[in-house]
Amino acid sequence: MRDDLEAAGRDGPLRVLVAEDETIVRLDLRGLLERHGLQVCGEARDGEEAVRLARELDPGVALLDLRMPVLDGIEAARRMTAERPLPIVMLTAYSDRSYVEKAIDAGVFTYLVKPFRESDVVPALRTAVVRHGELLRARRAIGAKPVRPVVIGLRSPSGADWPPLRVGRKDDGSLEVDVL
Amino acid sequence: MRVLVAEDETLIRLDVCGMLEAAGHTVCAEARDGAEAVELARSLEPDLAVLDVKMPHLDGIEAARRILEERPVPIVIVSAFSERVLVERAAEAGVFGYLAKPFREDRLLPAIATARARFEELVAVRSEVESLAEALAVRKAIERAKGILMEKEGLTEAQAFARLRSASQVSGRPMRVLAEAVIATFSTALA
């Protein structure tokens, strides 16, 4: 599993995308992460920017604030993981159960409560990367199986036929759905 | 959730158990050292384990490794220490969370909720891998048995398949078992 830590950092330190709208907190996070040998490869000030930077920079892990302008951290997490598997750690001032559940649904690996502590942030990122690597390997094992795509015909409640869907699997094991 | 709590300091252990129970979880086991945690995880099969790192006899990370060798379960490590080497050992052992001490329920509860959820996702993906592997093995065995029947009995493919299926229905045994029996019989006859 050590190779996941290194693979996530490719040939160097673990590359972290930080999304946090408050400048002081963001700078603080950058300093903290760099002190621990992690590399901040991108800084986003809102959720939309975070999604774009995740796409462009291909980070090893993302650290997202929950409450951000334009797009909140949970929706950003959902969009990021829909595009590409990525371990995400959520950082927030809210520990309410409903937020935690939404974050879990969005695929978030760990949920950290502010005020954040150095001693929580770094272990959370490292643990998330390794467990996510394990999950990816398991998914790839499914992707490696020759599963024939199936075509599903749908009928809407009103009786009209919807176009058939072709459901297959991508190499990483996630589902691929095409409208025929 | 039924939770195992391993912590050598009594006051902290009571505190952690209190937080879990106030949130509606059941503390099904309390361990005072790592060896006891491994034993209790084996006998009580908790849904999740919260393990302290520095404990007598066996530390929490080694206890996590041994628990996971026996049975998959989500584990959250709690520790006053978060040095890189400890965190990496814990991650390699397979833990789903690493929480720094001291903490209140507002930190503990999200940590165990996310650990449980991501653990279940991993288990679901793995079982899908296994069931696919199983399905492929079944198909392979049936194809082979069909080929043998076609060759030995001069049947068409449809007839060979129908024979396997009716043998399965009559005997109440899965097709895979019958297919393997056909293969085994033929291999013995060859030898």
pLDDT per position as a tens digit, B145-155:
888 888 888 88
Q: Which residues of B touch A113 (CB under 8 A)?
A: 106-107, 110
> Both A53 and A33 in a single domain?
yes
> Both A130 and A152 in a single domain?
no
Interfacial residues of B (vs A; Cβ cutoff 8 Å)? 82, 84, 87-88, 90-92, 94-100, 106-107, 109-111, 113-114, 117-118, 121-122, 125-126, 128-129, 132-133, 136
- C-alpha span between A84 and B162 (Å, rounded): 45
pLDDT tops 60 at residue A157: no
What is the domain extent for residue A47? 2-142
In chain B, where the domains are located = 2-103, 128-190
> Both A110 and A43 in a single domain?
yes
- C-alpha span between A159 and A178 (Å, rounded): 22
**ipTM reported for the complex, 2 dp:** 0.74
Mean pLDDT of A71-80: 95
> Both A156 and A88 in a single domain?
no
Per-residue pLDDT, A7: 47
pLDDT tops 60 at residue A10: no
pLDDT tens digits for range A35-69: 999 999 999 999 999 999 999 999 999 999 999 99
Closest CA to A64 of A36, A95, A32, A42: A42
Q: With CB atoms and an 8 Å threshold, state whether B97 touches A127.
A: yes
Mean pLDDT of A133-140: 89
pLDDT tens digits for range B99-111: 999 999 999 999 9
Q: With CB atoms and an 8 Å threshold, state whether A95 touches B109.
A: yes
Long-range contacts of B137-145 (CB under 8 A, 24+ apart): B137/B176, B138/B174, B138/B175, B138/B176, B138/B179, B141/B176, B141/B179, B141/B180, B141/B183, B142/B175, B142/B176, B142/B179, B144/B179, B144/B183, B145/B178, B145/B179, B145/B180, B145/B182, B145/B183
A130 inside 8 A of chain B by CB: yes
- B2-103 and B128-190: same fold? no
> Both A7 and A85 in a single domain?
yes
- C-alpha span between A117 and A136 (Å, rounded): 28
The answer to whether the predicted template modeling score (pTM) of the entire model surpasses 0.90 is no
Low-confidence ranges of chain B (pLDDT < 70): 188-191
CA angle A10, A131, B97 (to 5 degrees): 120
| A-chain residue closest to B134, CA distance | A145
Tokens found for residue A18? 């930080």
pLDDT tops 50 at residue A85: yes
CATH of the domain at A91: 3.40.50.2300
Per-residue pLDDT, B183: 84
Where do the DSSP E strands lie in chain B? 2-6, 26-31, 48-52, 75-79, 97-100
Specify the CATH number for B2-103; select among 3.40.50.2300, 2.40.30.10, 3.90.1150.10, 3.30.930.10: 3.40.50.2300
- C-alpha span between A27 and A43 (Å, rounded): 9
> Both A119 and A99 in a single domain?
yes
Mean pLDDT of A100-113: 93
A100 inside 8 A of chain B by CB: yes
Q: With CB atoms and an 8 Å threshold, state whether A120 touches B110.
A: no
- C-alpha span between A58 and B108 (Å, rounded): 30
Q: With CB atoms and an 8 Å threshold, state whether B122 touches A134.
A: yes
CATH topology of domain B128-190: Arc Repressor Mutant, subunit A (1.10.10)
- The pLDDT mean for chain B works out to 91
Band (A139; pLDDT cuts 50, 70, 90):
confident
Per-residue pLDDT, B191: 47
- C-alpha span between B66 and B39 (Å, rounded): 10
pLDDT tops 80 at residue A24: yes
CA distance B129 to chain A (A): 5
- The pLDDT mean for chain A works out to 84
